[in-house]
Structure 1
């Protein structure tokens, strides 16, 4: 299976959102917002979002989480690995409460992406700062 880098990034966000077995409307809204405004998704046909999201679920069901990650990361250039991690963090952190399953998924993704621990810590801290509310 070969997917575009953009589709692979969306697959990762969907998998991240479903890591705790419960995808919220807030997570779906965040994914839609990220796809609509980030430069990495420039030119992406947002009408495909639902079918691509369903494809992410099918991919995990067919190959397991490890197999799905291996396939998806082959489609994402190394220069976008930190972007892939940042997108996954953004989706999981949207409610400012990370469940144990989400933390395990992020750790697994970090290991597969082979990102420096300081880089991932900075990405995680930036997401918390961006998503924090006054009240």
Structure 2
């Protein structure tokens, strides 16, 4: 991406990274990203045609040296403080999409929370809400 990131890009980068961190982007995770972009109010003014280019740009960064750390810094530096909890929530939604959160995803969530300076009580509340939304019998 040659232009600077905006808050939409930062949220896309968050979702793409949680999906890719275990090296297996599942159909369920990709579908959840699409659902989030289509339905979350924060994406109301987002041009969905930018989703694939933003995802590719994130993938290119992730494949480089220190790519994960660079993506985390981009997310932190781009997101306004009031969207940091949203970033954590959408990451959890994508991780939960296939109903199994892998250790690599858990580690990324810890790194994301640390990078975004989210406290344990806040992350636990978000996690509980996402777990409730995705529980099946």
Global fold match (TM > 0.5): yes
C-alpha root-mean-square deviation of aligned residues, in Å?
1.1
Matches within 5 A, 1:49-68: 49-62=51-64, 63-68=66-71
Paired positions, count: 134
How far apart in 2 are the matches of 1:71 and 1:10? 11
Decide which of 6, 9, 12 is 1:7's aligned counterpart.
9
**TM-score calculated relative to the size of structure 1:** 0.94
Q: Mind listing any 5+ residue stretches in structure 1 that lack a counterpart?
A: none
Q: Which residue is 2:96 aligned to?
A: 93
**TM-score calculated relative to the size of structure 2:** 0.93
Decide which of 100, 121, 130 is 2:133's aligned counterpart.
130
Tell me if structure 1 keeps the 8 A contact 2:26–2:98.
Answer: no
How far apart in 1 are the matches of 2:129 and 2:112? 18
How far apart in 2 are the matches of 1:128 and 1:68? 26
SS at match of 1:133: coil
Deviating beyond 3 angstroms after TM superposition, the runs of 4 or more aligned structure 1 residues are: none
How far apart in 2 are the matches of 1:106 and 1:118? 14
Matches within 5 A, 1:24-103: 24-62=26-64, 63-103=66-106
How far apart in 1 are the matches of 2:129 and 2:75? 25
Tell me if structure 2 keeps the 8 A contact 1:96–1:128.
Answer: no
